[in-house]
């Protein structure tokens, strides 16, 4: 079946450092979504990417969809303590009906 | 922003007991989902529901699980005979119109099976 993988599993950074998480799918994706889950919270939608090579920015967050539409990345510039949480990518399953979540990257930001 | 509401926030039960987890999706949303997350692990799809019937279910969603939309607003997940490994956070989610739109998650129900 389809698999969505993410690396790294954990990332500890000093406040102000940059952070990147990478997402890879075993199959080509029609679109990809990113979610953030704060500790003890629920996943909250961040963004959806649809086009090959698409790049979107939200303040300090930059999202990219690969040319082959099999990988994606999330880059955070100058992390803040409010960025702490787990970042999940999610892609449609083989039927295109439901989203399969990657295992997530847990970000810790040290003040 | 509208919210998906889940009750209870915590549920403790004995192994073998039945539990019902409740969700009120956003009112004009058409697709409903249950996901679960074992502590520290990824969010796993259980089942999707559309037009009053299951549209897709995962391998996890075996005969012990069932879903229902009894009254047009509530969306429930029932586990008939809970097992220790059912202990997890259960999230309800809904989507407005199309399956590839963003998921709105509820705050979850933490189920502990003793």
Q: Among all chains, which residue has been given the structure tokens 């704060």?
A: A38
The pLDDT, as a whole number, for residue B40 is 83
Q: Above 70 in pLDDT, residue A96?
A: no
Which residue do the tokens 């449609």 mark? A92
Q: What is the mean pLDDT of chain A?
A: 94
Q: Name the token pair of A55.
A: 């790049």
List C-alpha distances in Å: A36 to A42, B3, B90, B105.
8, 16, 17, 11
CB B30 within 8 A of CB B50: yes
CB contact under 8 A, A42 and B45: no
What average pLDDT is seen over chain B? 93
Chain A CB contacts of B101 below 8 Å: 48
Chain B residues touching residue A88 (CB < 8 angstroms): 42-43
Q: What tens digit of pLDDT does each residue of A32-82 get?
A: 999 999 999 999 999 999 999 999 999 999 999 999 999 999 999 999 999
Cβ pair B110, B7 in contact under 8 A: no
What does A21-88 look like in DSSP terms, one character per residue?
EEEEESS--S-EEEEEE-TTS--EEEEEE-STT-EEEETTEEEEE-TTSSEEEEEESS--GGG-EEEE
- B3 and B23 in contact (C-beta within 8 Å)? no
Please tell me the predicted confidence (pLDDT) of residue B99: 64
For residues A54 and A71, the answer to whether their CB atoms sit within 8 Å is: no
Task: Decide: B111 and B13 in contact? Cβ < 8 Å.
Answer: yes
* pLDDT above 90 for B2: no
Residues with Cβ within 8 Å of B1's Cβ and at least 6 positions away in sequence, in order, are none
How many angstroms separate the CA atoms of A22 and A83, rounded?
16
Q: Which of A5-9, B40-44, B72-76 has the highest mean pLDDT?
A: A5-9
Per-window interface: B 43-62 vs A, CB < 8 A = 43-45, 48, 55-56
- Cα–Cα dist A80/A4, whole Å: 27
């Amino acid at each position: 079946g389809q698999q969505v993988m993410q690396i790294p599993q954990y990332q500890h950074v000093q406040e102000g450092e940059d952070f990147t998480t990478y997402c890879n799918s075993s199959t080509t994706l029609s679109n990809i979504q990113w979610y953030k889950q704060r500790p003890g919270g629920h996943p909250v939608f961040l963004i959806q990417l649809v086009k090959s090579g698409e790049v979107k920015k939200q303040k300090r967050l930059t999202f990219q969809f690969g040319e082959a539409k099999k990988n994606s990345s999330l880059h955070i510039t100058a992390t803040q303590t409010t960025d702490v949480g787990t970042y999940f990518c999610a892609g449609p399953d083989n039927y295109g009906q439901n989203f399969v979540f990657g295992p997530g990257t847990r970000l810790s930001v040290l003040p | 922003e509208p919210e998906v509401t889940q009750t209870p926030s915590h549920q403790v039960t004995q192994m073998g007991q039945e539990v019902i987890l409740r969700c009120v999706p956003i009112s004009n949303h058409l697709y409903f989902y249950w996901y679960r997350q074992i502590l520290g692990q990824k969010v796993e799809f259980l089942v999707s529901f559309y037009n009053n019937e299951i549209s897709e279910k995962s391998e996890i969603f075996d005969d012990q699980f069932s879903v229902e939309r009894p009254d047009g607003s509530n969306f429930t997940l029932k586990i008939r005979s809970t097992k220790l490994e059912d202990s997890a956070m259960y999230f309800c989610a809904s989507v407005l119109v199309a399956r590839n739109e963003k998921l709105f998650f509820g705050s979850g129900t933490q189920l502990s099976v003793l």
